[in-house]
């Protein structure tokens, strides 16, 4: 039986996740979009507090969606700003069910670009986001990308753009990572993507240093010097 796939579309506000995610998936793939679910609840229950609606979306509504797609072993996707590392609990839940986890991260070159895109979206009738949330989503999303990228089977870093003053967004791929290793890289990549490349290179150098150390001192415990805590019998 073919391994089902979980696609995680992540990135800051205004990066193009909702607009472009459907174009990257087979037709009919279920996608959980928390913003759309929240908008639906606001229309259905206009008198309820937004905080309660938000908790409902991220609580039982998302839980029910996960249960349904996992029961059918369906390819599926969800969107996130990756502000919270709690996302990884969901990713691990799917992996424990036999899913392959793929991260597609939509980056933007600056916080200002995220703010401008949200303002443009609002001007066209889209939903607004508070400035402090845009800022936190932008900064914390990149931090969690760098911290957790190795926990995904595959990672694709992209940026959306428009050309010739057209409104339609297009995608530019920057980096493809498989099992924590760079497989494809564009000739020119922005600082936010290059930072991840440097992180991968740093990890490779650390692993190589450990291998070389083990070759020189095969009897030496590579964990020597790390505090393991008290041992039984001491």
Domains of the chain, each with CATH number or no CATH:
5-216 (3.40.50.300)
The DSSP secondary-structure symbol of 95 reads: H
Q: Which residue has the higher pLDDT, 52 or 144?
A: 144
User: Helix, strand or coil for residue 231?
Assistant: coil
Count of helix runs (H) and strand runs (E) in the chain: 8, 7
Mean pLDDT of all residues in 11-28: 92
pLDDT > 50? residue 196: yes
164-168, 187-191, 204-208, 230-234: least confidently modelled range = 230-234
Map tokens 């949200």 to a residue.
118
Lowest mean pLDDT among 40-44, 50-54, 90-94, 183-187: 50-54
- Phi and psi for 113 in degrees, rounded to 5? -65, -40
- Token digits of residue 55: 């908790």
**Phi, psi for 213 (deg, rounded to 5):** -65, -40
Please check the confidence at residue 232 and state whether its pLDDT lies above 60.
Answer: no
Q: What is the mean pLDDT of the chain?
A: 89
Higher pLDDT, residue 185 or 39: 185
Q: Element (H or E) spanning 145, and its range?
A: helix 131-148
CA angle 127, 54, 116 (to 5 degrees): 25
List pLDDT tens digits, range 108-152. Answer: 999 999 999 999 999 988 888 999 999 999 999 999 999 999 999
């Amino acid at each position: 039986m073919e391994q089902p796939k979980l696609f995680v579309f992540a990135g800051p506000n205004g990066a193009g996740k909702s607009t472009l995610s459907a174009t990257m998936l087979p037709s009919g793939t279920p996608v959980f979009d928390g913003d759309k679910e929240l908008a639906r609840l606001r229309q259905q229950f206009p008198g309820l507090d937004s905080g309660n609606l938000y908790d409902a979306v991220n609580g039982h509504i998302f839980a029910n969606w996960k249960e349904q797609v996992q029961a059918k072993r369906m390819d599926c996707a969800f969107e996130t700003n990756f502000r919270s590392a709690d996302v990884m609990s969901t990713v691990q839940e799917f992996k424990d069910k036999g899913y392959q986890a793929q991260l597609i991260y939509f980056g933007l070159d600056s916080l200002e670009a995220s703010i401008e895109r949200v303002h443009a979206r609002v001007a066209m009738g889209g939903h607004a986001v508070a400035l402090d949330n845009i800022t936190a989503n932008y900064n914390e999303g990149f931090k969690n990308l760098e911290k957790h990228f190795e926990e995904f089977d595959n990672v694709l870093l992209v940026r959306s753009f428009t050309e010739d003053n057209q409104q339609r967004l297009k995608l530019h791929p920057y980096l493809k990572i498989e099992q924590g290793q760079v497989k494809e890289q564009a000739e020119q990549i922005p600082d936010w993507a290059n930072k991840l490349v440097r992180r991968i290179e740093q990890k490779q150098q650390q692993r190589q240093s450990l291998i070389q150390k083990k070759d020189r001192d095969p009897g030496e415990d590579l964990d020597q010097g790390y505090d393991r805590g008290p041992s039984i019998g001491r």
